[in-house]
Structure 1
Amino acid sequence: MSDTKTLSEAPTTTSHHAHTAVSTAGLLIALGIIYGDIGTSPLYVMKAVVPGRITTDLVYGGISCVLWTLTLQTTIKYVLLTLNADNNGEGGIFSLYALVRRRGGWLSAVAIVGGAALLADGVITPPISVSSAIEGLERVYPEIQTVPIVIAILVMLFLLQSFGTQIVGKAFGPIMFLWFSMLATLGVLGIVQHPEILRAANPYYAYNLLVNTPGGFWLLGAVFLCTTGAEALYSDLGHCGKGNIRISWVFVKTCLLLNYFGQGAWLITHQGEMLNGRNPFFEMMPSWFLLIGIGIATVAAIIASQALITGSFTLVAEAIRLNMWPKVKLNYPTDVKGQLYVPSMNRLLLLGCIAVVLYFRKSENMEAAYGLAITVTMLMTTLLLSMWLRTKRVAMPLVVLFLVVYLAIEGSFLVANLIKFPHGGWVSVAISLCLIAVMYVWMRAFYIKRRLTEFVKVEPYMDALKQLSGDESVPKYATHLVFMTSAERQTEIESKIIYSIFQKRPKRADIYWFVHVDTTDEPYTMEYKVTELANDDAYRITFRLGFRVEQRINLYFRKVVEDLVRNKEVDITSRYESLSKQHVTGDFRFVVLEKFLSVENEFPFVENLVMQAYFYIKQFIASEDKYFGLDTSSVKIEKVPLIITPPKTVDLKRVY
């Protein structure tokens, strides 16, 4: 008996109905989830581009740089090109890596660096967005203390995540629609005052700023802030779908550009003046609208945190599948495809955000830490995307052209952002390095453990298993004994499981079950395969679950057993004579083997450091039975040593 079936009747928190088709609800959710970061950039970009005296070169050059950055970087690279590199509807740098990883082992380093940098940016984005919004209230209430308010809002925002991004998107979508409409309206009013600002669309002004204006090149670090949300846009692909993102981007980009040009018009009418802390965004508002505008901007900037938070959840889920992150619990709070919540990452992000707020206190101080990490992620995405283009058989000259153009653009942004390092940029770099260390340790430890795990053929042990099952001199351990196995081949099993059954403590059971979980590259696969190892005594079940399917093995296993009983392929009635007469179902007990670092290990120096770090981190992570969704009342965790070499010969001398 060995056939593959679908868990079609199993209740699950994921759904196969697509949320990728274009719909009004999808467009609204996209506005609420995806564009918060990039959509609130008008709050601070032009203020950063024109730090001192207002000049024509600065204004026209800055607006031109913003226009062409949004066009080349966000529109062409991400919306038109990168969104095509989806992994069955899922996006993000790890999904992209999964599509190309067979083309070179070095690509794992590229993915780790890019993923860690994006997660680090997720710690900076919520504080700077919320702080910049709340500090707008200082124009009305100069003595207001913003730090406690910012922290309170961040706590509330992160608590909302447990309800799912569908709920968040529906709540935030209408607000962001109002925000973008306000951006466009204010921009048009500004452009009417000075229509000549539209000439800034000419790329010559960008060239003039970067090449001919003293210090102009270093302003790229400020210009880059207009596109920092592009990577999160790709990461959130699975939440809203490609069609909804592309159509909504037309509206979003139009509103953004209108507002940038409107700010430029206001600036040019004040040519020669010093800004002295004034924000062109608020200055271009009519006085009667100022309080309303600050209120809407405050709410929109709070929402800006959402894109990086949801993107971070997606990244962690994909990193787990790629063995680059600890197996933490993943929740699926709604029945909509793509909705995901990672409690542990939610807590870590919240603590990191609070620490950033307490350290920097003001948004202008956070700007120094903002943008540096995300340029690294964009560079890594460019490298991976070039490999993906090759898998799609794109002509080599076109791939080279893509690489040259975007490595030059993003390399320039990176160099310009490096001046931020001593002024706060080191914070995001430090966070990135910590995350890189965790990912490297976890991936390297995975391969070390796999190398040291000994697999044996299961068939030679079947006779002994049958005899043990019928040996009444051995106390019965359970009616049904279920072992979680990592053996990918159906004919093999870990030697440690054989040791656990026959030697550590003989485990007599009526039926032995060996369960293996295979995580597929497709997000929503739900299949299982049953192999009969010994008639009425031993079975192997292989689950093929998509990387977006919640690991609820206890539930799925029960579903499979019910199917087998219904088809009369197995009898789960207790074999105790008294219970069998009453047709009582036997008990099920799961056994999960957890490895520990034996004192007998003799790892090479680097591998020893990796494994020490791995087991140190592991003690803060929930055990694997929690990840697999097993019923804790019927699970036995067994510790088994991870041995690298047998103990050396010990010279012991016997004395009489």
Structure 2
Amino acid sequence: MSSSSLNKVTVGGLLVTLGIIFGDIGTSPLYVLKAIVGKEAISEETVLGGISCIFWTLTLQTTIKYVILTLRADNKGEGGIFSLYTLVRRTKVPWLVFPTIIGGAALLADGVITPSISVSSAIEGLRYFDPAINTVPIVIAILTALFLIQQFGTKFVGRFFGPVMFTWFLMIGVLGILSIVHAPHVLAAVNPLYAYRLLAEHPNGFWLLGAVFLCTTGAEGLYSDMGHCGRKNIRASWGFVKVMLLLNYFGQAAWLVGQEGAFLEDRNPFYSMMPDSFRWIGLIVATGATVVASQALISASFTLINEAIRLNFWPRVRIKYPTDLKGQIYIPSINWMLYAGCVGVVLFFRESSHMEAAYGLTINIDMIMTSTLLVFYLSLRRYRSFIIFLFIAVYATIEFSFLIANLDKFIHGGYVSMIISLAMIYVMWAWYQARKIRNRFVEFVKLKDYLPLLRDLSHDFSIPKYATHLVYLTSANYTEEIEAKVVYSILQKQPKRADIYWFVHVDVMDEPYMMEYKVVELIKGNIVRVDFRLGFRVEPRINLMFRKVVEDMVKNFEVDITSRYESLGRKNLIGDFRFVVMEKFLSLENDLPFYEKIILDTYFFFKRVSLSEERAFGLDTSSVTIEKVPMVVNPVGDIPLKRVK
């Protein structure tokens, strides 16, 4: 969608929103009530109490917290925990990085569980036709096809997402109405008294909150995908989605109260309330909806990692842009990591009922982390203290109650999602912390002290010319500074004579799609600094961007890029450009504390297997020189070496 269409509600916008935003939360009727009833005998008290909890969870957690409040916290139209972090980090509270990393990792772990449980829940409907069927190979085949098509982009398939989800929501709503007419008294469960009785009086009532929570797991994805559709389209379509979801939930409740005293066993109330003649159609539509839900979460994972890379929370990995749609990306390493995780989950649990135990715990933690950051956002926006304290009181109670209930799942399978989440947290933390350690020991010098030397070197014809234009990437944030290693590289390591020296700096900005640059001529026609200001969602194609800068400067007669070689200059040929990238490695001359050694070893391991510096900055050219620079963080002390005769 274009950026302008995000700011207004349109029929097309609403349709796309149904396909992209509500896939996860929209397919929750496939497993939520089944999880609430579990293996116990069906009782009206449990069913009505459970449906009351669902109603109020969707109202308080999804509608009020996310659709009304959290969607306000947009960063130039973008949402998600990393976008929220960019809004609140100006508070200069250093520990906010912890909830950000934990929340991002938890959402990635959810990306492994959601496709597995959604597709499994839908395909298990085949057992109504053949109870002995093994659904695992079918589920894996669907997941394999889904992850294979990611590399081609979803522009074509995406056109069908909206209509598929509209059909799905319309179907579940109508099915719910047809079932409710047989037991309309279930509608009384909108009274919160039913929820209170379940939680306070039922022996296991409080622990059922772990199953109830599954109805709102897609709320965090709803916020993360805001940039694709816009706040107004999400809010406008949520009314329709919520009504359809509630109709289906109440319809399942109506069917369940008619089965009081029986056991669900392998039956799913979602399929059981359907007319027998309609079940095949229901199965096909449900399968399509779960594929859409899975696709939405995979795309959200790509976006999440892309933002994490730009904010230095994740190693640089190869990113592809398979279509011309804004924001659509494909990250091969993440795609196949998610695929391996999904297949592993399916093979390990085999049944969606078993996956329910692993599902919900990490996303619950993610929601708590989002709430933590949101408190700081409300404070920054100068909301009244009363509103902030009310928000903390209400959502701390709700989300920590869900967390305590979800912790009961840990030994039954929740440890799987926690292990995945902890692995992600470790990678993010190690990468973030290692860069802080590394940057602590980067030495900067005043560039003005070396400008005369650089000018003299440029005109010293006793030294062979290294390049007409010599371009260095620098991490110095200030124009008047430069890394000591860059000066050493030019003047001492191998004196590099060039006609023009360029220093290029890339600054990642909080605005998602900013693309600006600034040029400072330190010595006219001899030494130039270029600062790129790129949003955290913009691919840093420095090779192309630098070329554009040079073209603009040539048009404005600010620089002459004609070759300075006499024979070539007469023919008006363009001079050669050579980029130099300084790549650090951990020197053996370090005596590191245990913690820093582990962090830096992890950092350099992922650095070796991740994207190289030149590829990460889009320097897809043969004219790149990589200079290895030893990184000495903590030099080894005096060596007790004794000289003998």
Partners of 2:279 and 2:97 lie apart in 1 by 49
Q: Which residue of 1 aligns with 2:510?
A: 521
Q: Which residue of 2 aligns with 1:21?
A: 8
Letter in 2 for 1:311: A
Task: Indicate if the aligned counterparts of 1:17 and 1:337 stay in contact, CA closer than 8 A.
Answer: no
Give runs of aligned pairs for residues 452-531 of structure 1, distance below 5 A: 452-531=441-520
Letter in 2 for 1:565: V
Deviation at 1:322, TM superposition (A): 2.2
State which of 616, 623, 634 in structure 1 corresponds to 2:612.
623
State which of 174, 180, 192 in structure 1 corresponds to 2:169.
180
State which of 573, 576, 584 in structure 2 corresponds to 1:595.
584
State which of 640, 643, 652 in structure 1 corresponds to 2:629.
640
Q: Which residue of 1 aligns with 2:17?
A: 30
Q: Summarize deviations over 1:131-176 as a string: whole Å, max 9, x none.
A: 1112211222334332222222112212333344554432211111
Partners of 1:169 and 1:73 lie apart in 2 by 28
Deviation at 1:632, TM superposition (A): 3.6
Q: Which residue of 2 aligns with 1:227?
A: 216
1:59 aligns with 2:34: no
Q: Which residue of 1 aligns with 2:415?
A: 426
> Structure 1 pair 31/169, CA: closer, same or farther in 2 (3 Å)?
farther
Partners of 1:416 and 1:296 lie apart in 2 by 32
1:72 aligns with 2:57: no
Task: Indicate if the aligned counterparts of 2:6 and 2:232 stay in contact, CA closer than 8 A.
Answer: no
Q: Which residue of 2 aligns with 1:144?
A: 133
1:556 aligns with 2:538: no
Q: Summarize deviations over 1:15-55 as a string: whole Å, max 9, x none.
A: 76553432222211211111111111111111111122121
Give runs of aligned pairs for residues 99-498 of structure 1, distance below 5 A: 99-103=87-91, 104-164=93-153, 166-498=155-487
Task: Indicate if the aligned counterparts of 1:319 and 1:325 stay in contact, CA closer than 8 A.
Answer: yes
Partners of 1:542 and 1:366 lie apart in 2 by 49
Q: Secondary structure at the match of 2:482?
A: strand
Partners of 1:50 and 1:463 lie apart in 2 by 79
Partners of 2:114 and 2:441 lie apart in 1 by 41
Q: Which residue of 2 aligns with 1:5?
A: none
Letter in 2 for 1:31: L
> Structure 1 pair 209/651, CA: closer, same or farther in 2 (3 Å)?
closer
State which of 26, 45, 56 in structure 2 corresponds to 1:39.
26
Q: Secondary structure at the match of 1:510?
A: strand
Deviation at 1:590, TM superposition (A): 0.9
Letter in 2 for 1:136: G
Between 518-527 and 358-367, report the one with greater CA deviation. Answer: 358-367
Q: Secondary structure at the match of 1:523?
A: coil
Partners of 2:251 and 2:592 lie apart in 1 by 64
Task: Indicate if the aligned counterparts of 2:311 and 2:536 stay in contact, CA closer than 8 A.
Answer: no
Letter in 1 for 2:418: V
Letter in 1 for 2:405: A
Letter in 1 for 2:282: G
Q: Summarize deviations over 1:563-600 as a string: whole Å, max 9, x none.
A: 11111111111111111111111111111111110011
Q: Summarize deviations over 1:419-469 as a string: whole Å, max 9, x none.
A: 111111101111111111111111111111111101111122122212222
Q: Summarize deviations over 1:336-374 as a string: whole Å, max 9, x none.
A: 443333332222211211221222222222111111111
Q: Summarize deviations over 1:254-305 as a string: whole Å, max 9, x none.
A: 1000011111111112222222222111111111111111111111122221
Partners of 1:316 and 1:248 lie apart in 2 by 27
Task: Indicate if the aligned counterparts of 1:32 and 1:176 stay in contact, CA closer than 8 A.
Answer: yes
TM-score between both structures, scaled by the size of structure 1: 0.95
Q: Secondary structure at the match of 1:619?
A: helix
Partners of 2:280 and 2:474 lie apart in 1 by 62
> Structure 1 pair 501/494, CA: closer, same or farther in 2 (3 Å)?
same
Task: Indicate if the aligned counterparts of 1:229 and 1:307 stay in contact, CA closer than 8 A.
Answer: no
Task: Indicate if the aligned counterparts of 1:161 and 1:168 stay in contact, CA closer than 8 A.
Answer: no
Task: Indicate if the aligned counterparts of 1:92 and 1:314 stay in contact, CA closer than 8 A.
Answer: no
Letter in 1 for 2:233: N
Task: Indicate if the aligned counterparts of 1:128 and 1:363 stay in contact, CA closer than 8 A.
Answer: yes
Q: Summarize deviations over 1:456-506 as a string: whole Å, max 9, x none.
A: 111221222122222233222221111110000001111111111112222
Between 353-362 and 437-446, report the one with greater CA deviation. Answer: 353-362
Partners of 2:153 and 2:5 lie apart in 1 by 17
Letter in 2 for 1:69: T
Deviation at 1:651, TM superposition (A): 4.7
Letter in 1 for 2:6: H
Q: Which residue of 1 aligns with 2:561?
A: 572
Q: Secondary structure at the match of 1:551?
A: coil
Q: Which residue of 2 aligns with 1:49?
A: 36
Task: Indicate if the aligned counterparts of 2:520 and 2:528 stay in contact, CA closer than 8 A.
Answer: yes
Task: Indicate if the aligned counterparts of 1:15 and 1:335 stay in contact, CA closer than 8 A.
Answer: no
Task: Indicate if the aligned counterparts of 1:480 and 1:586 stay in contact, CA closer than 8 A.
Answer: yes
Q: Percent identity?
A: 62
> Structure 1 pair 162/24, CA: closer, same or farther in 2 (3 Å)?
farther
Task: Indicate if the aligned counterparts of 1:532 and 1:538 stay in contact, CA closer than 8 A.
Answer: yes
Q: Which residue of 1 aligns with 2:81?
A: 93
Structural RMSD (CA): 1.7
Task: Indicate if the aligned counterparts of 2:105 and 2:421 stay in contact, CA closer than 8 A.
Answer: yes
Partners of 2:464 and 2:168 lie apart in 1 by 70
Task: Indicate if the aligned counterparts of 2:21 and 2:225 stay in contact, CA closer than 8 A.
Answer: yes
Between 325-334 and 33-42, report the one with greater CA deviation. Answer: 325-334
Task: Indicate if the aligned counterparts of 1:233 and 1:307 stay in contact, CA closer than 8 A.
Answer: no
Partners of 1:302 and 1:485 lie apart in 2 by 44
Letter in 1 for 2:68: L
Partners of 2:211 and 2:280 lie apart in 1 by 27
> Structure 2 stretches of 5 or more lacking a match?
none
Letter in 2 for 1:33: I
Letter in 1 for 2:72: N
Q: Secondary structure at the match of 2:261?
A: coil
Partners of 1:332 and 1:400 lie apart in 2 by 43
Letter in 2 for 1:340: I
Q: Secondary structure at the match of 1:82?
A: helix
Letter in 2 for 1:24: V
Deviation at 1:227, TM superposition (A): 0.6
Q: Secondary structure at the match of 1:648?
A: coil
Task: Indicate if the aligned counterparts of 2:512 and 2:538 stay in contact, CA closer than 8 A.
Answer: yes
Q: Summarize deviations over 1:508-549 as a string: whole Å, max 9, x none.
A: 222111100111111111111111122222111001111121
Partners of 2:487 and 2:636 lie apart in 1 by 22
Letter in 2 for 1:83: L
Q: Secondary structure at the match of 1:180?
A: helix
> Structure 1 stretches of 5 or more lacking a match?
1-13
Partners of 2:587 and 2:562 lie apart in 1 by 40
Task: Indicate if the aligned counterparts of 2:310 and 2:537 stay in contact, CA closer than 8 A.
Answer: no
Deviation at 1:647, TM superposition (A): 4.8
